[in-house]
């Protein structure tokens, strides 16, 4: 598949192609099979197409299971309103992650502790968490580092509202609703990112352009392709996180 297609579009095309193929076969052959059995055939075709399209391996079981699970769920006769409610709920929690390819997952306690030790103890500094989730990391760091000015930017509505409420009633940090790609990094001494492999190259281009000499870019887990970090710190948490540090 050409690289310019977004993974969600590829997934949609695979589902459409396999459903159309299974539907055509269903109308042509006289085999007596249940709708569920046809859904399994559709799933097998979708899994095969996903494999042939060289999608990441986890897409194969997702494609295989999608239509059989749709048929099973329809058998429960759940009101369509619930599907809408669940869809809107996911949209509010995950925002545009189907576009950004950066979903919500939170930095571990071990990452929080490691960051505490990396930040200046005495000097004033500014820190931003790109995609600050529910604000937990900012809350912990702001409590410990009274010498720091902590900022976050988050695009998903529910995590943003949670972090905003926390900032009002709890620790001293600022959080904005928005897109960090439109935000200027030059005001910060430390830029922290816990994103995904997808945006790392663009993040580096933006950091090189905007961050001040001597400022620090820290990425949790995800490396910048082709740019060796100045330091990496392996942590012993549930996801074996590594912090990668680049001094601009």
Ligand X SMILES: C[S@@+](CC[C@H](N)C(=O)[O-])C[C@H]1O[C@@H](n2cnc3c(N)ncnc32)[C@H](O)[C@@H]1O
Find the binding residues for ligand X in span 145-174 (CB under 6 A). Answer: 153-156, 159
Task: Say how far apart CA 26 and CA 188 lie, in whole Å.
Answer: 60
Task: Say how far apart CA 132 and CA 77 lie, in whole Å.
Answer: 38
3-state DSSP assignment of residue 120: coil
Backbone φ and ψ for 215, nearest 5 degrees, come out as: -80, 165
Shortest reach from residue 178's CB to ligand X, in Å: 6
131 near ligand X, judged by CB under 6 A? yes
CB within 8 A of 223, min separation 6: which ones?
200, 229, 244
Angle between helices 35-52 and 59-75 in degrees, nearest 10? 160
| Burial class of residue 167, CB neighbours in 10 A (0-12, 13-18, 19+) | buried
51 near ligand X, judged by CB under 6 A? no
Contacting ligand X (CB under 6 A), which of 9, 106, 165, 198? 106
Shortest reach from residue 132's CB to ligand X, in Å: 5
107 near ligand X, judged by CB under 6 A? yes
Contacting ligand X (CB under 6 A), which of 46, 119, 137, 218? 137
Shortest reach from residue 55's CB to ligand X, in Å: 22
> How many chain residues interact with ligand X (CB under 6 A)?
24
CB within 8 A of 132, min separation 6: which ones?
138, 152, 153, 154, 159, 163, 175
CB nearer to ligand X: pick between 180 and 185: 180
128 near ligand X, judged by CB under 6 A? no
Q: Which residue is nearest to ligand X (CB)?
A: 131
List contacts with ligand X (CB under 6 A).
95, 97, 100, 102, 104-107, 129, 131-133, 136-137, 153-156, 159, 179-181, 194-195
């Amino acid at each position: 598949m050409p690289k310019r297609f977004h993974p969600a579009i590829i997934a949609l095309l695979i589902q459409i192609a396999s459903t159309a193929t299974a539907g055509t076969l269903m109308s042509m052959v006289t085999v007596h099979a249940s709708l569920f059995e046809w859904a399994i055939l559709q799933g097998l075709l979708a899994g095969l197409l996903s494999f042939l399209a060289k999608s990441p391996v986890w897409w194969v079981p997702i494609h295989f299971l999608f239509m059989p699970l749709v048929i099973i769920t329809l058998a429960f006769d759940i009101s369509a309103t619930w599907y809408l409610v669940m869809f809107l709920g996911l949209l509010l929690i995950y925002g545009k992650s189907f576009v950004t390819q950066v979903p919500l997952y939170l930095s571990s306690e071990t990452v929080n502790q490691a960051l505490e030790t990396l930040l200046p103890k005495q000097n004033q500094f500014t820190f931003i968490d790109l995609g600050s989730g529910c604000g937990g990391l900012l809350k912990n760091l702001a409590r410990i580092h009274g010498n720091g000015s902590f900022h976050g930017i988050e695009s998903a509505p529910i995590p943003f509202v949670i972090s905003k409420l926390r900032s009002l009633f709890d620790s001293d940090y600022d959080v904005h609703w928005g897109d960090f790609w439109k935000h200027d990094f030059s005001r910060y001494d430390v830029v922290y990112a816990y994103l995904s492999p997808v945006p790392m190259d663009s993040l580096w281009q933006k950091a090189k352009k905007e961050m001040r000499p001597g400022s620090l870019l820290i990425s949790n887990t995800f490396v910048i392709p082709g740019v060796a970090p100045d330091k990496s710190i392996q942590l012993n948490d549930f996801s074996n996180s590594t912090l990668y540090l680049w001094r601009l």
